[in-house]
Amino acid sequence: MSTTAKKPGGGDLGGDERTNAPGAGAASAAAAGRDDSDGAVPAELVSRSGSAPRAGAASGASGATAPKRRAGRPKTSVLSRRLILETGLRLIDEVGAHGVGMRAIAKELGVRPSALYNHVAGQDELVAGVRELVSDRIPVDMFAREPWDVALAEWAVGYRRTFAAHPPTIALLAVLPLSEDSVTSRMYDTVIAALMRGGWPADRALTLMVALESFILGSALDLAADDDMLDPGPRTDVPAFSEAYRSRAERLAARGEGPAEASFQLGLRALFTGFRAEYAGLGLAPAEAGSRPRR
């Protein structure tokens, strides 16, 4: 994953013209995320609306009264960057990242495309903003209270769950460079700072985080996929694969566990076994090793 900072581009079509969107409530609804799994950390890793005011008294000699204001929500939406990005995320979840652009979002919101450019500079900024919207939902508070390895495992679980709820956005995180004011960069800073406090050298901390993130993103895709996508069916030319698939299905059924979760937990245990071995090889003095945050 590239971490080179680049401010998102995108042409400015200009114009302040906008129309108000009917049905703002539906348009501003955020995409509902799937949560197919509790995604627990392995045990061994854890040591307003009201009525309108009354019309005023007779005005002047005419005796006319002021018109009454309707009660309830207005039938217009207040266009904002947040509304545009939330709508973009919902459409990406529905049709995929490549099927969503400024025109599609404008149509969904009932405004002209030019109105969007007062809030989002263009397609690149739209895509980057949607990615940041998702990244901002990944919890990082555990790094302030847990040892580096426990916090990192909890982060992995939350990260996977967040992106599995929006599978099409996974590629956006994996291949797009970070913007100058990226929320993702601040998340990375929190993770790496915690690793460095725990004794990891800065360069090794970054390498470790990217290694874990690669596993997380792949696991998020696996969690979003069908459980039986690897089923070899009645084939007879792949006997070892067929036997392994049937054996795993029986074992997981007995445990009430899904294949994606089983694979994630096994991979996480293996990774952290390796991380701890690497950590032990750093040769930290007892005082340094003991400086890690305690639970």
- pLDDT (mean) for 13-41: 42
Residue 253 lies in a domain: no
Q: Could you give the C-alpha distances from 171 to 75, 140, 163, in angstroms and in order?
A: 36, 21, 10
Do 161 and 279 fall within a single domain? yes
Query: Does residue 129 belong to any structural domain of this protein?
Result: no
In a domain, 176, yes or no: yes
The average pLDDT across 120-144 equals 91
Q: Considering 120, 153, 184, which residue would you say is the last residue of a domain?
A: 120
**pLDDT higher than 70, residue 41:** no
Q: Say if residue 165 is in the same domain as residue 262.
A: yes
- Give strand pairing partners of 5: 178
Average per-residue pLDDT for the chain: 78
For the cut 90, the answer to whether the pLDDT of residue 272 exceeds it is yes
45 pLDDT tier (thresholds 50, 70, 90): low
Residues 6+ apart with CB under 8 A from 238: 232
Residue 30 has pLDDT above 60, yes or no: no
Residues 82 and 218 in one domain: no
Phi, psi of 226 (to 5 degrees): -70, 145
Please tell me whether residues 99 and 171 are part of one structural domain: no
63 domain-assigned: no
Does 273 have pLDDT greater than 70? yes
Condensed to tens digits (0 to 9), the pLDDT of residues 87-103 reads 999 999 998 877 788 99
Looking at residue 203, its pLDDT comes to 97
End-to-end CA distance of the chain: 31
Total domains in the chain come to 2
**CATH label of the domain that carries residue 192:** 1.10.357.10
Tokens 């004794």 found at: 199
For residue 278, pLDDT over 60 is answered with yes
Last-in-domain residue among 89, 120, 151: 120
| CA dihedral sign, ordered 106, 108, 111, 115 | negative
Tell me how far CA of residue 58 lies from CA of 66, 71, 101, in angstroms.
8, 22, 52
Looking at residue 5, its pLDDT comes to 42
168 and 111: one domain? Answer: no
Q: Using CA atoms of 200, 201, 206, 209 in order, give the dihedral in degrees to the nearest 10.
A: -10
Same domain, 92 and 173: no
Whichever domain contains 116, its CATH number is: 1.10.10.60
Q: Tell me, yes or no, whether 220 and 168 share the same domain.
A: yes
Nearest to 18 by CA among 128, 121, 117: 117
Specify whether 171 is located in the same domain as 107.
no
Residue 101 structural domain:
75-120
The confidence score (pLDDT) of residue 285 equals 52
The answer to whether residues 281 and 152 belong to one domain is: yes
Q: Are 109 and 86 in contact (CB under 8 A)?
A: no
Q: Does 203 or 73 have the greater pLDDT score?
A: 203
242: Cβ contacts below 8 Å, ≥ 6 apart: 232, 235, 236
Query: Does the pLDDT at position 72 exceed 50?
Result: no
Residue 269 to residues 35, 130, 245, 263, 273, Cα–Cα distance (Å): 22, 31, 21, 10, 6
Give yes or no: residues 80 and 161 share one domain.
no
Which of 48-62, 78-92, 254-268 comes out lowest in average pLDDT?
48-62
**Within-domain flag for 116:** yes
**Contact between 93 and 4 (Cβ < 8 Å):** no
pTM of the model: 0.69
Cα(84)–Cα(105) distance, integer angstroms: 7
Do 105 and 156 share a structural domain? Answer: no
Nearest CA to 289 out of 280, 97, 114 is that of: 280
Angle between helices 259-280 and 148-164 (to 10 degrees): 150
Residues above pLDDT 70, as percent of the chain: 69
Closest among 201, 101, 212, 96 to 154, alpha carbons compared: 212
Q: Quote the DSSP letter at residue 114.
A: H
- Provide the token pair at 192: 């790496």
